[in-house]
Every structure is written in C-alpha cells, then in structure tokens.
Amino acid sequence: MPLQVPTILVLTPRTITVELAGVAARDQLDAVLDWRLVASGDVMQEGQAGRPVLTVEGLVPGIAYGLEIAGFGGLDFTAPRESALIDIRDHGASKAADNSAAFAAAIAAAPAGATIYVPPGVWRTGPVFLKSDLCLHLPHGAVLKGLAERQAYPILDAFDAEGKMQASWEGVPAACFASLLTAIDASHIAIAGKGVIDGAGAEGDWWDWPKETREGARRPRTVFANRCVDFAMAGVTVRNSPSWTIHPINCRKAMFADLAIENPADSPNTDGLNPESSSDVEIVGVRFSVGDDCVAIKAGKIWPDGRVPEPTRNVSVRHCRMERGHGGVVIGSEMSGSVTDVTVERCTLADTDRGLRIKTRRGRGGEVARIAMRDCVMDGVLTPLAINSHYFCDPDGRSDAVQNRAPAPVDKTTPHLRDVTFAGIVARNVHHALAYVLGLSESPIMGLVIEDISVTYDPQAQAGVPEMAEGLPELRHGGIITENTTNPIIRGIAWPGDSNSRERAS
C-alpha cells in the first residue's frame, strides 16, 4: 500500500504549511518524525515534526522542492513565483518609529502577486490595510506590533459610502476601531511565516472597556477580514489582542493553519478565532490559550432593520489544542443567519469551562444543524457538552420572554437546533456534568447523539451552574441532563467504576 502524501494547506512563494493527513494523532504526534526539504538532489533544510501540521519557511520562489517526512510519501511542489519582494525598510520602516506610513507605502507599491517582507525585529504600527493578491511574510524573529495609543487607530464606520457593512460588533453593524491587520473586499491574501503579530492589547486601555464604546466606536480585533475570498494565515503567532483575535466575516474559503493564538487568561472577550457568516473555513493545528472562547462560530444577529445575516457553513476544526478558554468550540450566541455543517475532530481541550457549546435564545431565529465533535480528548473541562437555548445574552437576556420555560409561539425568530453528534470523546476530570442540554419547549432539540464516551470526574471539583440560563441547579459530578430534546440517542457511556457502562441520564 503506497504511503500517504502530506496535504498542502498553505503554499506561498517563501513558506509551505502541510498537514500529515490520515494520522490518528490529535494535537501532538505519538513520536517526532524526521523531515527534510530537498531541491535538485541537495538537502536544503531538515528538522523534526512533533505535530500533525508543519510549516517550513525559507523557500525560494520558482524553485522545485521535495518534502520528505518519515513514514509518509514524498511531496513534490514548486514554490510559487512572486511578482516583487517589497521590503518595508525600503519604504521608510524603522524599529524606532510608527511604521504606519511605511506599511501603507509598501502595500501601495506592491503589484499583484507581490510579497511584503517584514524582516526580523519589532516593527510598531497602527492598522495595516491589506489588498488583494498579496502575501505578508513574517519570518522567524519578525514581530509586527500594534501601537498602544488609541489615536493611532482610525474608526471604521458601520457602513461604507456604498452602504455595505464595513465594521461589526457582536453580530450587527457597528463602528469599530480598525484592526491591526484589516482586509475588506479582497481576495487571495496570505499571512505566513514563523513571526509574531502582537495586537498590543496589554498596552493602552483596550482591556478596560470590554463592552463599552469610546469615541463612538468598539474595540478593534487584531486581524479582521470582511468579504474576503481565499484568505489564509499559516505559521504565525497572534497574541495580546484588544478584543476578538481573528475575525473573518462574510468570507469564503478561509484557511487558518499551524497558528498559535495567545491572550492572557484574564483579558476580556479575547476570543481566539471567530468565523462569522462565512463558508468553507478550515482551522487546522491551531494552539489556543485565550481569555474567552477558543473557537467561536457565529452567524450574526438580526439587524435593527430586519435583515438576516449570511449563514456560516462548512467549518472544519481539527488537530487543535484549546487551553483555558471559556469554551473550546462554541456556536452562537449570534447565529441568526444559521450555522450548519461543522465538524470538530482529533482535538485536545484542557481546562476550558465548556467543550462543545451551542448557545442561542428566543428572538435570534436561525438554525444550528449538522454539528459533530468526534475523537477528541478533554481534561479538566467543567462541562464537556453544553447546549443552551435560553442563553441570557443582551440587555433583555434575563427577561421572561427569553427565560420562561413554557412554550412560546413559533415564528421566524424561533431558533431551531438539530443533528448534534458528540461521539468518541475521552472526558477526564469533569467538574459539573458530562452534558447539559436545554432546548426550547416550543422547538425541542432533534437528532441529538451522545455516544462512545469515557468519563472520569475531578475529585476536587466544586459544584457550579453548568450553563448561563436562569434557574439552573448547581451540579457536581453530574451525568447527562437533557430537557426539551426529542428522542436523544445516548449509548456507550463508560462511567467511572461502571463495568456495564450504563447510561446515567435524566
């Protein structure tokens, strides 16, 4: 049987990121694998891979290479040619200056197919606006760092001059400070290398006003892509975000591979990666340690004028490690445009509050359907599976209209949840409950499957509320609690000390 060949995730003129497709490993390989990069019979680079994704930089555009990884078939590829290599220093960049003008000049000078080169060193700048057919190359040792002063960040209005949504906050159009890296209405953009993008959230006052506006605007992200096609990030570390770290909205074909996303545990609302109203999104081999949700998949809220946002469809999350966040993979609570066809596979979650979490409420409408988490390991997760149709978000979230458990009329603002699979999970040191599932009485959750789960409990666990809805009990070492679900399938649960694997559900 022929050996499986690694899959190319992102290929730029100077970097390649591959996935060791077909491996059963989660975020780490069972053993390190030797690799080498060959050109014209000569070994150009060599090293070891310890994870199912690998980024190699230092390619020369236009050169044919072979990538050899022990246990895999050889991968032959040619580094794409670039129309120009634009060094930011040639446009006035200095390590002791505000480099906003230098970045703008370098990008303005770049023809289609060019690479913007950020050399090793720390380069401070205000927001950088990317354009189509461009690669931003951040090699090892390069740090693109935001300025601390709020005055360095222009404000993006909610809508542009043509009436198109330009900036968004929690699911609706809203004025926001421009993000450190901003791309709007662009295509074929890659941000690649082993450098760092530092949003400077730890500086200035960004984390002092998480839910407020200042100067009439909301906080910036670190990377924001709006209506982009073929948007890719590979290899880089993104840290210290002022708010959500990476936020693609209304995008198609987005790839996020071999990234590290790092925000302090106490930094407010610093979600890791938030695809919103986007389709065909892949999140592969990303390491998360953040101050809120690691992956938050969204589809907006119904706009004040009644418009419904675009859906989010076809999202794949695999080989990722998620630490310390409020949730591992979270869907909602902004999901009015519907979120469908999400698969989470071969991931590791450690010390997050929730594992797979779906949250919505009356008034949102939309559908969440065909969601699957399989073959994942969770350790120290308070509640591995949480589904909440009475989530108390927004100013009216605790109102009777949202929290009342009696059936309400079904209309276009009624959310619907169906076909959620939670299978092949190892859940160690659970605190509150293995699963807490709360549907709407007028729109019960359909097609819920919980199967083939191995569970142990943290002996030091403290009782706590498993979800954010009114009237829920505090739980410690709970099993599977479901309310307003239609014929859930629950089977193959290995409870601690239970050799017969009985289903402990209520």
Contacts of 151 (CB under 8 A, 6+ apart): none
Same domain for 385 and 272: no
Per residue in 443-456, pLDDT (tens digit) is 999 999 999 999 99
Contact (CB, 8 A) for 130 and 115: no
Per residue in 167-176, pLDDT (tens digit) is 999 999 999 9
499 pLDDT higher than 50: no
Same domain for 300 and 273: no
Contact (CB, 8 A) for 399 and 371: no
Same domain for 298 and 365: yes
Q: What is the DSSP letter of 443?
A: B
Contacts of 30 (CB under 8 A, 6+ apart): none
**Range from 95-99, 106-110, 331-335, 408-412 carrying the lowest mean pLDDT:** 95-99
Same domain for 243 and 165: yes
Catalytic residues, by residue number, are 292, 326
506 pLDDT higher than 60: no
How would you class 468 by CB atoms within 10 Å of its CB: exposed for 0-12, middle for 13-18, buried for 19 or more? Answer: middle
What's the whole-number average pLDDT of the chain? 96
End position of a domain, from candidates 24, 50, 78: 78
Same domain for 128 and 92: yes
| Closest to 489 (Cα-Cα) out of 449, 444, 434, 437 | 449
498 pLDDT higher than 90: no
Same domain for 327 and 214: no
Same domain for 99 and 224: yes
Per residue in 17-63, pLDDT (tens digit) is 999 988 889 999 999 999 999 999 999 999 999 999 999 999 999 99
Coarse DSSP helix, strand, coil percentages of the chain, rounded to the nearest 5 percent: 5, 45, 50
The CA-CA-CA angle for residues 475, 476, 479, to 5°, reads 80
| Closest to 249 (Cα-Cα) out of 351, 320, 153, 170 | 170
- Does residue 460 lie within any of the structural domains? yes
- Does residue 386 lie within any of the structural domains? yes
CA–CA dist 303, 172 (Å, integer):
6
End position of a domain, from candidates 258, 288, 318: 288
Per-residue pLDDT band for 501 (boundaries 50, 70, 90) equals very low
Q: Could you tell me the residue range of the domain that residue 258 belongs to?
A: 82-288
Give me the CATH number covering residue 148.
2.160.20.10
How much is the average pLDDT of 156-161?
Answer: 98
CA–CA dist 432, 363 (Å, integer):
29
Same domain for 357 and 242: no
Return the SS3 of 106: helix
- Does residue 1 lie within any of the structural domains? no
Core vs surface per residue 409-443: b (16+ CB within 10 A) or e: eeeeebbbbbbbbbbbbbbbbbbbbbbbbbbbeeb
pLDDT value of residue 503: 44
How much is the average pLDDT of 233-251?
Answer: 98
Give me the CATH number covering residue 58.
2.60.40.10
- Does residue 2 lie within any of the structural domains? no
Same domain for 350 and 376: yes
Q: Which residue has the tokens 């445009």?
A: 337
Q: Which residue has the tokens 């968004």?
A: 168
How much is the average pLDDT of 333-338?
Answer: 97
End position of a domain, from candidates 57, 78, 99: 78
How distant, in Å, are the alpha carbons of 8, 360, 459 from that of 482? 42, 16, 24
Same domain for 72 and 19: yes
- Does residue 400 lie within any of the structural domains? yes
- Does residue 394 lie within any of the structural domains? yes
CA–CA dist 44, 33 (Å, integer):
17
Per-residue pLDDT band for 1 (boundaries 50, 70, 90) equals low
497 pLDDT higher than 80: no
What's the structural domain count of the chain? 3
75 pLDDT higher than 60: yes
Same domain for 148 and 32: no
Entry pTM? 0.97
Percent pLDDT > 70 in the chain is 98
Strands (DSSP E) found in 259-310: 260-262, 279-284, 287-289, 295-297
Same domain for 120 and 73: no
CA–CA dist 257, 416 (Å, integer):
31
Per residue in 337-383, pLDDT (tens digit) is 999 999 999 999 999 999 999 999 999 999 999 999 999 999 999 99
